[in-house]
Amino acid sequence: MTLKKIFGILHTHCGDDKDAADFVVFAIAQLLKDGVTNPLRKASASKVFSGERNISPATTRTILSNLNKDKFVSFISEFEDDTKQSLSDAVNIEGYSTTLYDVADHCAEIIIQNISGVNASGTAASGTIKIENGKLYFGNREIPMPETLTPPISIESHEIEYIRALLLAYSDAEGITGITRETLCNYHEKYKKSFDRERQHYFSAEAVNRRLRDVFPPDNDQFAALKTEILDGVIEVAEATDHANGFVRLTEVLKHATVVNINGSIVVSLPTWITNKVRKGICHFLVNDGSIRWVLE
């Protein structure tokens, strides 16, 4: 997403009564450490907002050497939930996957990546996408690791399919139908432990998904490449007919996912990103996609 687009979206939803140029200047100030003079002037900001020009190299150097991303996130986070949801919806139309809880972080990253010189082809003004010493860089700028996501108490809409599949697997193991999240505790404790663990795995993978969407353009979907690699590695185990029940199939597939060779994405060389939790979580994305099932009909 370009600076013109992201500033336009932010101005629409968070601009209050500021005109476009004033808002861009204000937004950049929210990315700077306290006490640092904002190097972006209103005349330049107006051209950035309209897409006539990018931020100058000198201004870019000042911004990048004095970044305070948390300050920007705090600025967006202070808005009401309905405003953040509208902002999230607008950002998602551009091919991202955000919620009202993390849209501030996504917007900050989009701005920072643009300022760093990242363009739609996935290259940066000062270099290309690269991995050095187990870290991902755009040019000389290190891309931060995915944030840690804690599963919310309530099931979110994007979880419905894999959650349904988990409950079906537990029911299949018990030889019954209809185990729900609320009734899990009425059965063996292993199911409740599994349920909580698999939600954490799912959100570990979701964190990687969100960070990759921030970094790579929509036509270079690195998370989709990861899903394809995991699917190719576990499909025979998932489709085997000798599993005693769906819970056993779930366990065996997740176990196998941790040893699959995955080479189809640049991020497989980042061991701190693609952990066993992430590999297992990707399996639940495959369930969401309908690519694998725990209970075969």
pLDDT at res. 217? 65
Q: Are 259 and 182 in contact (CB under 8 A)?
A: no
**Residue 162: is its pLDDT beyond 60?**
yes
What's this model's pTM, rounded to 2 decimal places? Answer: 0.61
Asked if residue 200 belongs to a domain, the reply is yes
Q: Which domain holds residue 230?
A: 157-289
If asked whether residues 80 and 186 sit together in one domain, one would say no
Domain's final residue, options 115, 149, 168: 115
pLDDT interval class at 122 (50, 70, 90)? very low
Asked if residue 269 belongs to a domain, the reply is yes
Asked if residue 214 belongs to a domain, the reply is yes
Phi–psi pair at 172, nearest 5 degrees: -65, -40
Asked if residue 226 belongs to a domain, the reply is yes
If asked whether residues 90 and 193 sit together in one domain, one would say no
| 27-83: pLDDT as tens digits | 999 999 999 999 999 998 998 898 887 787 778 888 888 999 999 999 999 999 999
Asked if residue 136 belongs to a domain, the reply is no
Asked if residue 134 belongs to a domain, the reply is no
Domains held by the chain: number: 2
If asked whether residues 81 and 173 sit together in one domain, one would say no
Asked if residue 73 belongs to a domain, the reply is yes
> In 79-115, which positions are buried (b, 16+ CB within 10 angstroms) versus exposed (e)?
beeeebbbbbebbeeeebbbbbebbbbbbbbbbbbbb
| 231-258: pLDDT as tens digits | 999 999 999 999 999 999 999 999 999 9
If asked whether residues 182 and 283 sit together in one domain, one would say yes
Asked if residue 295 belongs to a domain, the reply is no
If asked whether residues 285 and 163 sit together in one domain, one would say yes
pLDDT interval class at 141 (50, 70, 90)? low
